[in-house]
Amino acid sequence: VTQTNVRAGQVTQTNARAGQVTQTNARAGQVTQTNARPGQVTQTNARAGQFTQTNARAGQVTQTNVRAGQVTQTNVRAGQVTQTNARAGQVTQTNVRAGQVT
Report residue 100's pLDDT band, with 50, 70 and 90 as the boundaries. Answer: low
Region 77-97: mean pLDDT is: 61
The tens digit of pLDDT for each residue in 28-44 reads 666 666 666 666 666 66
| Domain range list for the chain | 2-96
The rounded mean pLDDT for the chain is 63
The tens digit of pLDDT for each residue in 44-58 reads 666 666 666 666 666
**CB-based contacts of 74, cutoff 8 Å, min separation 6:** 53, 54, 55, 56, 62, 64, 82, 84, 93, 94
- pTM summary value: 0.32
